[in-house]
Chain A
Amino acid sequence: MAETGRVTRAAPLPQWAHPVTLVRVAIILAVLVIWEAVAASGLLYRDVVPRLGIIVAAVWKLLSTPDYYWHLGVTAGEIGTGLLVGGVSGLLVGLVLGANRLLARAFEAYLYYLGPTPKIIFFPVMIMWFGVGPGSKIAMGAISCFFPIALSTAAGMRQIDKVLIRVGRSFRLNAWQMATKIYLPALRHPIINGVRLGLGVAIIGTLLAETKLSNRGIGFLIIQAYSLFDMPRMYAMLIVLFVLAIGVNALVGRLGGLHTIRRS
């Protein structure tokens, strides 16, 4: 084939010199410069907008305190247990509603409309039921993540390829075998999406409950920093928490993406 019309391309830009990267760096730098200028100017209370150096030092101090990891462990344990309880019950309810059209039409509307209500208002009830300790925080996490996981699983069930179900029936699989051999493998993607959504709201539910009434966990540390007016520590904790929450969310999302790639 004749090599006509070939245009010599310029060498691709390195990643750091890509315009998008440069704009991102410029935005971050602008925010930091404005923050530092405001902090140095004294226009706002120095304690509300501390200098960047003080915040960085607070992050370092926080991360080098063993006590912080103990509280992080408590919160992670509460979120994990809440996710397990809410996730398993959400999965079961989702499977039942997805498999039965009548039950779905009878009860799914309740889940659909209760799902986006503010869950934190149930906290006084959870304190009554499970006490002021970790039990009420776990319950808050479980309630929060139950709805997205149940709705996502039910919606996923209805989208399963009918051929797969017919194959299962033609092999005369019983209900348990249908669930473990057909439904659950076909539902990996919606379940992971539901868990991803559920994890986000479980983190919020658990931590908010900790800020309201607790003597341990990250939520407690945040509200303690507020009570002591230790703003650098509060900024440090919020920064670390946001990085952790976004990181975990991205990790679960990536797991979901991997499943799609393998399946295709």
Chain B
Amino acid sequence: MTAAARDRAVPFALGLGALLVFVLAAEVLIRAGAINRFIVPMPSQIAASFGRVILEEDIAGRFRLTFLEAFTAGAMITVVGVLIGLLLYRVALLRAATETWVAALASAPTVLMYPLFLVIFGRSAWTIIMMGFVAGLPPVILKTIEGLSGTRRVLIDVGRSFKLSPMQLFLKILFPAALPTIFVGVRLGLIFTLINVVGVEFLINFGGLGQLINDLAERYDLPGTYAAICFVILVSVVFFIITERIERWLRPVE
């Protein structure tokens, strides 16, 4: 084993080993009665309930529904966010007037508007999609402005020297140069969107994976609830890793 490989393997083994020890300790303590098994189910029970939850609770269908809601909201934040970002980049006065508002909106607890959205859109997928949209929009706008403003002056001058029209200048120079930064905003927006989609599904007891956790908890199916939570965490982590890889791939080489 090379030094570099050992350098990576030791921390990985330590992290994984600690996780396994923790799970094993929980199993032993629950079996010994030190932890109430009606509050915390045994890890072996949780692992065994995975198959049941996947087959009986239509995980595939629920995953598809959550994915569709998140994808719709994600497409909306990308299109609307980039367009608003472009508008604010082009109209400096509008940008100066509203950029701090967008930043304030990004830090505001917009998810608490879900009862209002319930009244407007009803208990439907649109409430969930719109909540995801509202939560994910500000980072896309802010990062689009940042990306477009950060385009190197020399690139714009090259475009102008070729007498590009404003549309050509945007498509051939500004947008490609700003794309890595815009994607950082899209990724952040997608993370907020996914959090809100699953969260609102859980809160209004409607839709895909979020509703599944609520359903199982209300049925007092503890191993199933824990298994569903593990599944949602797994989906989220896979999603973050994929989008992170894309972000790295888009980042210009220094």
Q: Are B107 and A120 touching (Cβ within 8 A)?
A: no
Q: Are B229 and A204 touching (Cβ within 8 A)?
A: no
Interface string of B95-116 (1 = CB under 8 A from A): 0111000001001110111111
Report Cα–Cα, A128/B202, bound state, in Å. Answer: 17
**Chain B min CB distance to A114 (Å):** 7
A238 interface neighbour in B93, B112, B120, B191, Cβ under 8 Å: B112
B119 interface neighbour in A48, A106, A129, Cβ under 8 Å: A48
Q: Are A225 and B225 touching (Cβ within 8 A)?
A: no
Q: Are A117 and B236 touching (Cβ within 8 A)?
A: yes
Report Cα–Cα, A212/B229, bound state, in Å. Answer: 17
Report Cα–Cα, A28/B237, bound state, in Å. Answer: 40
**Chain B min CB distance to A164 (Å):** 26
- Does B198 count as interface, using CB distance less than 8 angstroms? yes
User: Which of B11-19, B148-156, B178-186 binds A?
Assistant: B11-19
Report Cα–Cα, A110/B232, bound state, in Å. Answer: 15
CB neighbours of B114 from chain A (8 A) = 211
Report Cα–Cα, A107/B16, bound state, in Å. Answer: 9
Report Cα–Cα, A116/B195, bound state, in Å. Answer: 7
Q: A118-B195, A207-B109, A246-B107 are in contact. Are A234 and B116 (CB under 8 A)?
A: yes
Residue total for A at the interface (Cβ-Cβ under 8 A): 50
**Chain A min CB distance to B121 (Å):** 10
Q: A122-B229, A231-B119, A246-B107 are in contact. Are A219 and B210 (CB under 8 A)?
A: no
CB neighbours of A121 from chain B (8 A) = 198-199, 202, 210, 213, 229, 232
CB neighbours of B94 from chain A (8 A) = 23
Report Cα–Cα, A103/B15, bound state, in Å. Answer: 8
A118 interface neighbour in B12, B104, B107, B236, Cβ under 8 Å: B236
Q: A107-B18, A222-B115 are in contact. Are A246 and B108 (CB under 8 A)?
A: yes
CB neighbours of A203 from chain B (8 A) = 109
- Does B217 count as interface, using CB distance less than 8 angstroms? yes
CB neighbours of B198 from chain A (8 A) = 118, 120-121
Q: A19-B93, A246-B104 are in contact. Are A117 and B195 (CB under 8 A)?
A: yes
- Does B48 count as interface, using CB distance less than 8 angstroms? no
Interface string of B48-69 (1 = CB under 8 A from A): 0000000000000000000000
CB neighbours of A105 from chain B (8 A) = 11, 15
Q: A200-B109, A226-B118 are in contact. Are A117 and B233 (CB under 8 A)?
A: yes
- Does A2 count as interface, using CB distance less than 8 angstroms? no
Which of B118, B119, B120, B232: most chain A Cβ within 10 A? B119
B111 interface neighbour in A124, A208, A231, Cβ under 8 Å: A208
**Chain A min CB distance to B20 (Å):** 13
Report Cα–Cα, A235/B120, bound state, in Å. Answer: 13
Report Cα–Cα, A124/B218, bound state, in Å. Answer: 9
CB within 8 Å of A: which of B73-132? 93-94, 96-98, 104, 107-109, 111-116, 118-120
Interface string of A192-228 (1 = CB under 8 A from B): 0000000010011001100110000001001101100
CB within 8 Å of B: which of A92-124? 102-103, 105-107, 109-110, 113-114, 116-118, 120-124
Q: Are A226 and B11 touching (Cβ within 8 A)?
A: no
Chain B's closest residue to A44 (CB) is: B120
Report Cα–Cα, A107/B22, bound state, in Å. Answer: 13
- Does B72 count as interface, using CB distance less than 8 angstroms? no
Chain A's closest residue to B212 (CB) is: A121
Q: Which residues of B contact A (CB under 8 A)?
A: 10-12, 14-15, 18-19, 39-40, 93-94, 96-98, 104, 107-109, 111-116, 118-120, 191, 194-196, 198-199, 202-203, 210, 213-214, 217, 222, 225-226, 229, 232-233, 236-237, 240-241
